[in-house]
Amino acid sequence: MRAIVKRAATVACLFIALCAVFSPASYAARPTVIKVAHDLSPDPYDPTHGFAMVFKNYVESRTDGKYVVEIYPSSVLGKERERLELTRAGAIHVNLASVGGLSQLYQPAILLNTPFMYKSDKIVSAVLDSDFVQWMFADMQKKTGLRSICVYEMGGLSCITNNLRPIRKPADMKGIKFRAMDDSQVAMFKALGANAVPMAWSETYTGLQTGVVQGQVNPVSAIISVKLYEVQKHITLSRTLLGSHWVVVNDRWYGSLPKDVRQVVEEGFYYAREAAAGLTQIVQAQGLETLKNNGMEITALTDAEWAQFAKLGCPAVVQWAKTKMDPAIVDRFVSTVEKVEKQVEGK
């Protein structure tokens, strides 16, 4: 009899313990996970991973650990299009998306990557805060169901790298096979007299290593992040394209956040964007020395030389864009940049 009572008491204690574990209060005590994904390396000095880390620290500290941010770098949750679809489905809450990847779902995003459009980082910063970019966010949400919060700089204006020779003028591009992120880059390289091979970012290092392509375009941060200096010899400071990522979130998740938590998340995005901009300047200040120490030969274009590339590359992509979307949107983007440029340069 004593054995039966003892066994019953043990079962009762176990039942009480299980009730405590699975009670609503217990569930409430567990932190809520926010999944953040991106395509670059987990280097804290990379602007993209730096963005994710600052966001993580801010959200976790301001919510007293009730929300935990998990960071998934290096495309571990899928390539560009896969991560966007996972974000739309809610499996990823925050995706730091490249312009090339996002333009597969929302074509006008590619306008921010119009080559030789921006003379300086100051112009870039003002354009990213423009009414036109806010309009794109609203338009994209309406057409795709994906919400964008902001666009951040991830390494400054892009450079041209290749294995064959220094590039200082468009004629130097002739015959070189470049990795193209998308069709807009194919149009740009063709206008500059080069060849282009469409290739995913995750395949670029191997493509350069095996000779499938001989060159590519990216900001200094990305070149360092994935060690392209191991497979590239020459780099031209060409101010070719805007190096940026869009902060894309699952709209249902974002809308379901309690008001106070959403404010923390929005503040986290703000400080993360500021950090990415700062890291961009650090990378540009120190990154060239890193590339030089790793054997890359550096060529810097003068304003006059840059203008030669702009005269060919920019109009070609603007015309290409008008065949892919409403020409009025393209014209609005171009006029936005022109207006910003006058304001920044005081003209």
> pLDDT digits over 158-193, tens only?
999 999 999 999 999 999 999 999 899 999 999 999
pLDDT at 10 over 50: no
**Distance between CA atoms of residues 48 and 139, nearest Å:** 25
State the CB neighbour count (10 A cutoff) for residue 58: 20
Cα–Cα distance list, 315 to 17, 187, 191, 233 (Å): 70, 10, 9, 29
For residue range 48-70, what is the model confidence (pLDDT) as tens digits? 999 999 999 999 999 999 999 99
Which residues are registered as beta bridge partners of 180?
198
What is the residue-averaged pLDDT of the chain? 91
- The predicted structure's pLDDT at residue 20: 40
* Best CA proximity match to 314, nearest among 237, 218, 241, 246: 241
- The predicted structure's pLDDT at residue 21: 38
**Distance between CA atoms of residues 217 and 53, nearest Å:** 26
Give the CATH superfamily of 31-345: Bacterial extracellular solute-binding protein, family 7 (3.40.190.170)
Put the strands of the sheet holding 242-250 in their side by side order: 67-72, 32-37, 94-98, 242-250, 146-157
Cα–Cα distance list, 111 to 74, 99, 343 (Å): 25, 9, 20
Distant-in-sequence, close-in-space partners of 14: CB < 8 Å, separation ≥ 6: none
**Distance between CA atoms of residues 250 and 147, nearest Å:** 6
